[in-house]
Chains A and B, each alone.
Chain A
Amino acid sequence: MELNLKGIGEKDGQALKNMSKEREKVIHNSSTTPINVKFAANEVADALHPTVQHVKVVDIIEEGQDTKTFVLVPNVDVGTKKLAYFRPGQYISIRVEIEDGIYNRPYTISCSPKNANDNIYTITIKRRPRGIVSNYFLDEVKMDDKFAISAPTGNFYYEPIRDAKNVIAIAGGSGITPFISMAEAIVDGILDFKMTILYGARSENDFLFKKRLDELAKKSNLLQVKYILSEEVNPNYETGFITKEMIEKYMVNENSFFVCGPTPLYEAMNEILKEFSIPNKYIRHDALFGRVDLRGNDLYNLTVLTKGEEIHIPCRARETILYAMEKGGIETTSRCHVGECGFCRSKLISGKVKIFDDDICAADSEFAYIHPCAAFPESDVVIELPF
């Protein structure tokens, strides 16, 4: 069947024949200037998400017992001219070589995004009893030491479309770090919501940034901080654990709860918030905190396939596969350490692993991909890294 096409005639049939020449004509008539490879969206992308940021330590601040803040600025000598802007609550992953190990550790940026404009980040590190990296930072790292860090990463930030205008931030111990950043940003006019920080710690000495938090609270009506001591009686503070009644005092019609601290804090808060029937959407946990602690001394053989090599290292039942690789000096690509970011995604070739809180995609599970940062061995294991 041939259609009667109004206004389109037989001679249009020739168009296809001439098309190639027509196209050539357009090409020949166009500019010979060098091809544009600079685009605004890509420049912003590179600024916000650099592949790596080289930094050096320019100041170390004692924050009390066993906690220090490290002030980082760009290490211009190796090409980092500026630091990426970030959202308060995000972290960077820092790469450290200690003895034979290569470690990447996530630390929340503990300053205002405004500081990033002036090319300053701070990270605040508390000593963990058996933590290789935290002990190294507290005992060994000195002024002018140089590190490679990741771009700012993580989803523990205020999202105005989802979160309530009234935020109750619940912090335990060093879990205050994302909130000091948010508090600074509120005072700097970068964030716009009301925040009450309920800050629990064992003793008065364990409060980090107390002086700064009190200063900030004085500067802004949007901000208040309440301190609660769990193991010390002190007339200046409430005593005990954070309770339902304490929280209720600061609640309005709609509230978002941002919780950051050790696992028992998450469990306790979940119980309390359940009593208030708070929907999931209003409860945010900082995944960086509340790591899984396993026991078990069984020793397994871990075989790692990477860069065409086969590396054999030991791995204990209580250690993540990622940790065993780090200790074994294998270069990894991890960031979050809690199965969230997906950067360490690797293929489990054989063996059995126990997986905790892992945000793996359905198709990845089908093909035995795991996040070594959230996987503990239960037998000898063979895994293949993504490069």
Chain B
Amino acid sequence: MDREYDCIVIGAGNGGLVAALDLVKRGRKVLVLEKNKKPGGVATSFVRGRFEFEASLHALCDYGTEASPGEVYKLFEKLGVLDKMDFVTVPEAFHVYSMNENVHYKLPFGIVEFIEQMEEYVHGSYDSLKKFFFLAEECKEALFYIEENKDYIDANYVKKNFPDFLKVSSHTVDKVLDSLKMPKKAQNILTTYWSYLGSPASKLSFVHYASMFFSYIAKGAQIPYKKSHQISLVLAEEIEKLGGKIKYFSSVKEILFKDKKIAGVLLHNGEIYEAKHIISNVSPNSIYGRMLPQPIVPKEAIQLTNSRILGARGFSIYLGLNQSAKDLGLDDYSYFIYENLDSDKEYQNQSSIKNSSSVVYVLNNAIPSASPKGTTIVEFKSLFMGDVFSKSITEKNYFDMKSKIAENMIDAFERTTGIVIKPYIEEIEIATPVTYARYGGYPDGVIYGYKATGMDNLLPRMVGMDHENFIPNLRFCGGFGVKMSGYHASYLSGDLAARLTLKDMKGEEE
């Protein structure tokens, strides 16, 4: 097997796969090293009995449709993989429940429809919502402009075209919604998706939340028919078809240097592969803390990493039920079961091991054929903030703990919605921060990268990007990167990492 490559990609997650395919399409010789048996990281599926479960994708943001393509759609089109995937738009935006207040709200996709439904729930919210979506669209466009032109941002152009964006660019979600005079109740419903970013309204950048929310409501959310494993596999197959190489069961131990420049990688099995460029789908914690020779790591890289807070830890329950969704009364696609609708209070709640909140997806309500006839796949996604989960477990109590926590969440769902599912569980699998730590190697089982807060929000990361390229020819992608976590962000991060690597390569040639 070849030992020399133009670029080595560490980790075949969403970012790594896109980056590799981008480079291969431009004629670069690329090796992807993946420690697991399959591509995609948590973008995968697994089989238990007669069910094939989706590991993690329930609402792809910014994909859209042929008529109204989003950034991810355009990216897949550019990569030449669009026709190999089939997507479906999920039926509704969300159905959010508050356990505390005993209320629930169901919201549709489509900006007009969304605003009208909100006005019904919260009289007098109409104007503030209209302004919100106007501002949200401007933020999305401004972010796009900044990224496309990050080498030379025309201040006058920004001032002229994105004046409101400029004003809100450093503010948090709650501050801007207050300034729009949005009633608190409407704010609480509007921020339902906060748990997709893992940071509450008082910490999360408005620009980030608003642009994501805008994409969802304007374009809907999509999922692939054959689960996220289909996307991962299509990308992986295309890489290999175009001459790239993906090696599974291949875990990188160390990045190698020669004359203080990146020279390649050493695997845990002793194999060495050479390349002058590396794209890491692995967290900076692991790269700077463990995989680089420590004298090489600059003080700033250590300080940057130490300045950051690890984001939300993941906890998921996968249920194969032996009844149809209709028979069970599971009418919706996504149930957001929160203790509190106020995201700051809910963040506190999710910082406790007693947390029983979750987002519950009924796969068959988007894809009727997701499981055999007369059965249903229901998947719970939940979070733990901070290290509350890992501090509560040991090797010995782990199996008991995960069952207890899962049961607590299933009970909370049943209590809140009045829908009974427990007696119908035919297959069950539970993934915890330990599972994510093992499978993805994520520090402490974090599934959202670093927490979006203060100067580590989206825009500060974007404007800081150029100064934070501490090791020449080493670029990052994935959930710990500039574009933050989430499927759409991680795909787009791969595209960004590939573009930057190509620039690095050109710089060398000149």
Q: Which residues of A contact B (CB under 8 A)?
A: 1-3, 5-10, 12-13, 15-17, 19-20, 22-37, 39-42, 44-49, 51, 84-85, 87, 117, 155, 159-162, 279-281, 307-308, 333, 340, 342-343, 345, 359-364, 366-367, 386-387
Contacts and interface: CB of A to CB of B under 8 A. Distances in A.
A345 B38 contact: yes
A39 B437 contact: yes
A5 B180 contact: yes
B295 interface: no
Given A30-B306, A281-B424, A281-B425, 17 more contacts: A6-B181, A16-B158, A16-B459, A19-B463, A19-B464, A22-B460, A24-B464, A27-B304, A30-B303, A30-B304, A32-B303, A46-B438, A85-B396, A117-B396, A280-B49, A345-B38, A360-B47
B178 interface: yes
B226 A5 contact: no
Given A10-B167, A20-B463, A280-B322, A386 B249 contact: yes
B260 to A, nearest CB: 20
30 contacts: A3-B131, A3-B135, A9-B167, A13-B167, A16-B166, A16-B170, A17-B155, A19-B170, A23-B456, A28-B303, A30-B307, A33-B302, A34-B302, A35-B306, A37-B289, A39-B443, A41-B433, A41-B444, A42-B444, A42-B445, A48-B398, A84-B395, A159-B428, A161-B410, A162-B428, A361-B47, A361-B226, A366-B233, A367-B233, A386-B37
Interface in B224-245: 226-227, 229-230, 233-234, 237
A22 B460 CA distance: 8
A264 B371 CA distance: 28
Contact of B300 (A16, A27, A280): A27
B176 A44 contact: no
A26 B410 contact: no
Contacts of B307: 26-27, 29-31
A20 B455 CA distance: 9
Q: How large is the interface on B (under 10, 10 to 19, 20 to 34, 35 or more residues)?
A: 35 or more
Interface in B393-420: 393-396, 398-399, 403, 406-407, 410
B216 to A, nearest CB: 22
Interface stretch (B111-119, B383-391, B471-479): B383-391
A118 B425 CA distance: 35
B299 interface: yes
A352 B427 CA distance: 32
Contacts of B50: 280
Contacts of A27: 300, 303-304, 307
A8 B176 contact: yes
B487 to A, nearest CB: 16
A41 B384 CA distance: 12
A20 B464 contact: yes
Contacts of A7: 175, 178-179
B464 A40 contact: no
Contacts of A387: 247-250
A45 B300 CA distance: 30
Contact of A1 (B134, B304, B445): B134
Contacts of A161: 403, 406-407, 410, 422, 425, 428
Contacts of B438: 42, 45-46, 48-49
B164 interface: yes
Contacts of A84: 395
B206 to A, nearest CB: 10
Nearest to B425: A162
Contacts of B163: 2, 13
A333 B249 contact: yes
B443 A15 contact: no
Contacts of A51: 251, 268
A19 B389 CA distance: 34
A362 B428 CA distance: 19
Contacts of A16: 158, 166, 169-170, 459, 463
Nearest to B466: A20
A362 B372 CA distance: 13
B426 interface: yes
Contact of B395 (A1, A42, A48, A159): A48
Nearest to B404: A160
A325 B41 CA distance: 28
Contacts of B285: 35-37
Interface in B151-192: 155, 158-159, 163-164, 166-171, 175-176, 178-181
B460 A19 contact: yes
Contacts of A29: 307
B420 to A, nearest CB: 14
B103 interface: no
A308 B3 CA distance: 11
Nearest to A359: B47
A44 B394 contact: yes
Given A41-B433, A342-B38, A367 B168 contact: no
Contacts of B286: 37
* Nearest 5 CB-CB pairings of A with B: A308-B1, A15-B170, A35-B289, A40-B390, A30-B307
Contacts of A37: 285-286, 289-290, 443
Given A9-B167, A22-B460, A30-B307, A363 B444 contact: no
A252 to B, nearest CB: 16
B17 interface: no
A333 B387 CA distance: 33
